[in-house]
Amino acid sequence: MSTYLVGDIHGCYNELQLLLAKVKFNPDQDKLWLTGDLVARGPHSLEVLRLLYQLNNCVKLVLGNHDLNLLAMYVGKSRKKPKTPLKNLLEAHDIQSLINWLRNQPLLQIDEKNKIIMSHAGITPQWDLKTARTCACEMAEVLSGESYLEFFESMYENTPNNWSPELTGLERLRFSTNALTRMRYCFPNGQLDMVAKTLPNRTPSPLKPWFSIPSLITKDYTIIFGHWAALSGKGLPNGIIGLDTGCCWGGHLTALRWEDKKTFIQTSLHIK
């Protein structure tokens, strides 16, 4: 049995199929961990969701910001209009089943045996593991419950950007969402910056990548994330692994086999 961790798919269904074939993935024995952003930029978001829905028992995933935006689109709360691939997805005959399945997926996965923590964007340096787990559980309850409509109405904001245990309600949920699905840079005190997107060597001081700021998470864990395709998995400290290698932008889709840390790639079949 092997565990394969795969970066952001973004609707690149053909590349995912080729990558799974390359590693000889066996859904009866192997596990598939996914860093989120299953849908959006690539051409086959519907096919990706249908495949993962069928593989459900062997898949562990976290939702990314584009996955949350899809959920918001479905209930008419998104600030973005769906482009053709997502429009086709939203009009599919089985969309309700796929959406209900997505709504029951978490924003954080933790494997205590292998000491893996996975979220789409990473873990804010202001959180310890207990706080991260608590906030992710609160998000899961909202997304799968009856109050998710109210949350989506307020999701598209950059504040609050500083963690406090005193945060409550929609502000607390919004911070958790931004920290787990949108974060790239922080100020030295860990406060989120939700604007900068350039590479670290082009970003003005005092901003630093979240993974360059001392963390409250014990060094016993490896943090797996996606979201930041421009990094292409490079320049990261020990114990931090970035798996988004920009397949939807003409890069490649990456899988890491956890047991021997071997990396497999599938080159993008389309060019942006």
pLDDT tens by residue, 76-121 = 998 887 777 798 999 999 999 999 999 999 999 999 999 999 999 9
Closest CA to 25 of 46, 44, 52: 52
Give the pLDDT band of residue 271 (cuts 50, 70, 90): low
Pick 210 or 270 by higher pLDDT. 210
Q: Residue written as tokens 């889709």?
A: 253
- What is the H or E stretch that residue 222 is in? strand 222-225
Report CA torsion sign: 169, 172, 176, 182. positive
Q: Name 52's bridge partners.
A: none
pLDDT at position 272 over 70: no
What is the average pLDDT value for the chain, to the nearest integer?
Answer: 95
Model pLDDT for residues 160-172, shown as the tens digit of each residue: 999 999 999 999 9
In this prediction, residues 169-179 reach a mean pLDDT of 98
Model pLDDT for residues 253-269, shown as the tens digit of each residue: 999 999 999 999 999 99
Least confident of 24-33, 60-69, 78-87, 109-118: 78-87
DSSP character at residue 230: G
- As a whole-number percent, the residues of the chain with pLDDT over 90 amount to 92
Pick 218 or 243 by higher pLDDT. 243
Closest CA to 19 of 270, 266, 256: 266
Amino acid at 80: K
* C-alpha to C-alpha distances, 128 to 63, 125, 131, nearest whole angstrom: 20, 8, 5
Q: Name 34's bridge partners.
A: 6, 61
Distance CA 127, CA 191 (A): 11
- As a whole-number percent, the residues of the chain with pLDDT over 70 amount to 99
Q: Quote the tokens at residue 54.
A: 């069928």
What's phi and psi for 263, nearest 5 deg?
A: -105, 140
pLDDT at position 80 is 80
- What is the H or E stretch that residue 85 is in? helix 84-90
Closest CA to 85 of 76, 73, 102, 77: 73
132 within 8 A of 107, measured Cβ to Cβ: no
Domains of the chain: 3-267 (3.60.21.10)
Distance CA 186, CA 93 (A): 42
Give the pLDDT band of residue 135 (cuts 50, 70, 90): very high
In this prediction, residues 69-73 reach a mean pLDDT of 96
Pick 270 or 10 by higher pLDDT. 10
pLDDT at position 119 is 98
